[in-house]
Amino acid sequence: MARAATTTDAFNAVAEPRRREILDVLADGERTVNEIVEMVGLSQPLVSRHLRILRQVGLVRSRAMGRNRFYRLDATALQPIHAWVTEYERHWNERLDRLDSYLDDLQREETQ
Amino acid sequence: MKTIDRTGTASVTLPSDTEILITREFDAPAELVFDVWTTPEHVRNWWGWESDPMTVCEIDLRVGGTWRFVSVNEGFGEVDFYGEYKEIDRPHRLVSSEIFAPYPDSPALNTMTLEERDGVTTMTLLVQYETQEARDATIASGMESGLQHSLDRIDAILAGEQGRAS
C-alpha cells in the first residue's frame, strides 16, 4: 500500500510521538512556541521544526499578535483519521449487531 | 430479555499506537455470550455477512488449540483469519493470537473480556499489534481507505475540538 511522505500526509505527521504531544498541548488552546517548549520539554529549535511539519500538513495554524506568534490546532486535517476510526467502528457495529440479535433469538427460543 | 435497542452502540478507541479497543454491551448472560463467541455452530450465525458465506469455521477451544475463520467476499475474495488460543477463563476472558492471512508477519493478540452485571454483559475486545505499522497496515488493508496512521488521542482531540466548536 502506498505511503505518503511525512511532510505531506497528516497520518504520517501524527505518527511521531513528540508531534502528538504538541497536538495534545494545542488541543487545550492556543500557545506560543515558548509555552509549548515548556510544556513538552523539548528544545525550541526542535519544537519549531515539529510545528513547521504540522503546519505543512494543515494540522496547526498560526497567527501573529504583537511580538508573539500563537499556534493552534486545526482539527479538519484530522478528519480522514476520524473517518478511518468511524469506518472501523461501523464494521464492528455491523458484526456485533448481528451477534446481538442472534443472542436475542437464542434467548427467545429458550423461554418458549 | 431484551429491553434496550443497542444497535450501533459498539465503540472503538485507540488506547495506544499499537492497540484498538472495541466495547459493546449485550442483554445476555456472560456464559451465553462466551458460548456464542467460541462455538462454530454459533459463530457461523453472526461472524460473516449474509452475502459473504463462511467456508471455514474451526475452533479448537483449548490453550494451544487453533481457530480459523474464512469467508468469501465478492470484492476481496477470501477473507482468511486464523490464530491460536493462549488463555481461556470461561466466561470471563479469552486471549488468542490472530493472523490475517495476507499479513502473516503482523500477528495481533486479541483479549476478549466479559463482565456481567444485572443481566447486562459488557464485552471488551482489545486488539494489540507488535508495531504501529502492523496495526495500521493490517486494518487499512481491510478498509479500502488506505489510511496508514492513527492518533492515540484522536478521540480526545476531536471531542475537544467539537466541544469548542459547538
Q: What is the pLDDT of residue B146?
A: 27
Cβ neighbours of A17 in B, within 8 Å: 17
Q: What is the pLDDT of residues B54-69, one digit of tens each?
A: 899 999 999 999 999 9
Confidence of residue A24 (pLDDT cuts 50, 70, 90): confident
Percent of chain B with pLDDT over 90: 45
Cα A81 from Cα A86, distance rounded (Å) = 9
pLDDT at B6: 86
Q: Tell me what pLDDT residue B138 has.
A: 61
Other beta carbons less than 10 A from residue B104's beta carbon: 9
Q: What are phi and psi of B95, to 5 degrees?
A: -115, 130
Residue A80: asked if its preceding bond is cis (omega within 30°), the reply is no
- pTM of the full structure: 0.67
Q: Which residues of A touch B46 (CB under 8 A)?
A: 95, 98-99, 102
Q: Average pLDDT for residues A60-76, to the nearest whole number?
A: 91
Nearest chain B Cα distance for residue A50, angstroms: 16
> Residues B74-99: pLDDT tens digits?
777 788 899 999 999 999 999 999 99
Chain B CB contacts of A102 below 8 Å? 36, 42, 45-46
pLDDT value of residue B46: 87
Around Cβ B5, how many Cβ atoms within 10 Å? Answer: 9
* Percent of chain A residues topping a pLDDT of 70: 84
pLDDT at position A107 is 92
Report the distance separating Cα B96 and Cα B37, nearest Å.
12
Q: What distance lies between CA B117 and its chain's CA centroid? A: 22
Instruction: With beta carbons less than 8 A apart as the criterion, state whether A100 and B6 touch.
Output: yes
Distances (CA, A) of B74 to A67, B26, B101: 60, 31, 17
Mean pLDDT taken over chain B: 80
Where is pLDDT greater, at B45 or B62? Answer: B62
